[in-house]
Amino acid sequence: MFEVGIDELPDIHVNQKFEISGFIKNNSNISWEISHGSGMFTYEIFDKEGKAVKQEQNILFRNDIGYALKMESNGIYRNNGLDQRSKEFYEFVIKKPGKYTVKSKAEFRIKNENKGIQELIITSKDYELLVK
């Protein structure tokens, strides 16, 4: 019904900041009313051994703001929560060159006429990231 992914990443270089932007796609043949918070998308980066790459972070903030929209069939939606949460939720720095894996997770709700409001948590496929 829904697919989660990330936009194509530019060339990534060691110690250079880059942003990850996630999306959800409505693969069904009907429109859905969806709602979510500013933290809809989260991202994880793993090294070649499968260990999570930790980021240096200061205090992180997130406004508990809500978004609601109608997502059309085959529609694609992006919302990184810009200006509503710390950029460190979607901006990263990698300190060693090599191959990495990126995953995105989306958390949102849909209004289903038969089942009411349903909470969905969907994880993307693995995306390869080459850091030079």
Q: pTM (2 decimals)?
A: 0.86
Domains and CATH numbers, the chain: 2-131 (2.60.40.2360)
CA distances to 3, 24, 46, 72, 111 from 7, rounded to whole Å, are: 13, 11, 17, 20, 26
pLDDT at position 60: 61
Would you tell me how many other CB atoms lie within 10 Å of the CB of residue 42? 16
68, 35 Cβ separation under 8 angstroms = yes
114, 32 Cβ separation under 8 angstroms = no
Q: What does the pLDDT look like over 58-108, one tens digit per residue?
A: 666 566 678 899 999 999 999 877 777 767 778 899 999 999 999 999 999
